[in-house]
Amino acid sequence: MWTSRPDGGPDRLLTLADGVFAIAITLLVLDLYVPRDLDADRYREALHQLLPDLGAYALSVAVLGSFWRDHRRIFRDVREVDGHVIILSLTGLGVAALVPFPTRLLAEYGDVPASVAVYAAAVAALGACHLALAAVLAKRPWLRDGTPSDTGSTPYLLESATLVVVFAVTVPLALVIGAAAMWLWLVLVPVRYVLGRRLQKAG
């Protein structure tokens, strides 16, 4: 049977991932500010104008936080990594580091279809990297010393695939119906809840 060549433990990769996600979340908040020396009316107006920024910030914190948690979960029982795992992880981290840019587009030009499409594409790409990573590790038990992983189970892979499909579908949909396509993302709440419960039962 073919086996990949292990390339060391996952500790450094996990440390790098923690740093990338932390920096990406930190970058999200850098553009949140209110100018100084404003009178009361202009101050209230500035706070009102900040609401789209806060909404985009909250959304991206939730997205990045969820992916960071899943990344840790995927590597929970991994004892060694190989070249393919490293490449997939670095690709995903590269996309995660890019998230602050489409977040800024969504905050400043949320009513422009292209902004929604770019944001959805970034999240779909990040989800695809995590899905591929979980699938690869599921097929390589020797990297986990034979320990079974719940992230290689059908409910987990289906849950990850659902996220990728929903955000991928949003890309062309946003170009057709505009920013209203973002409402499609709410479908993920009940779907992930149901699949999460099935995963818990399977565990």
Burial class (CB in 10 A: 0-12, 13-18, 19+), 90: middle
Give the per-residue pLDDT at 3: 62
pLDDT in tens, 136-175: 998 888 888 777 777 777 778 888 899 999 999 999 999 9
Average pLDDT for the chain:
88
DSSP string, 139-202: T-GGGGTT---GGGSHHHHHHHHHHHHHHHHHHHHHHHHGGGGGGGGGGHHHHHHHHHHHHHHH
Give Cα 4 to chain centroid, integer Å: 27
DSSP string, 9-44: -SHHHHHHHHHHHHHHHHHHHTT----SS--HHHHH
Measured from the Cβ of residue 164, the count of other Cβ atoms closer than 10 Å reads 19
Judged against a pLDDT cut of 80, whether residue 201 lies above it is answered with: no
pLDDT in tens, 183-192: 988 888 887 7
DSSP-derived 3-state class of residue 3? coil
pLDDT in tens, 49-74: 888 899 999 999 999 999 999 999 99
The tokens describing 44, both together, are: 């209230």
Give the per-residue pLDDT at 1: 42
Alpha-carbon torsion (78, 81, 84, 90), positive or negative: positive
pLDDT band for position 103 (cuts 50, 70, 90) = very high
Measured from the Cβ of residue 14, the count of other Cβ atoms closer than 10 Å reads 16
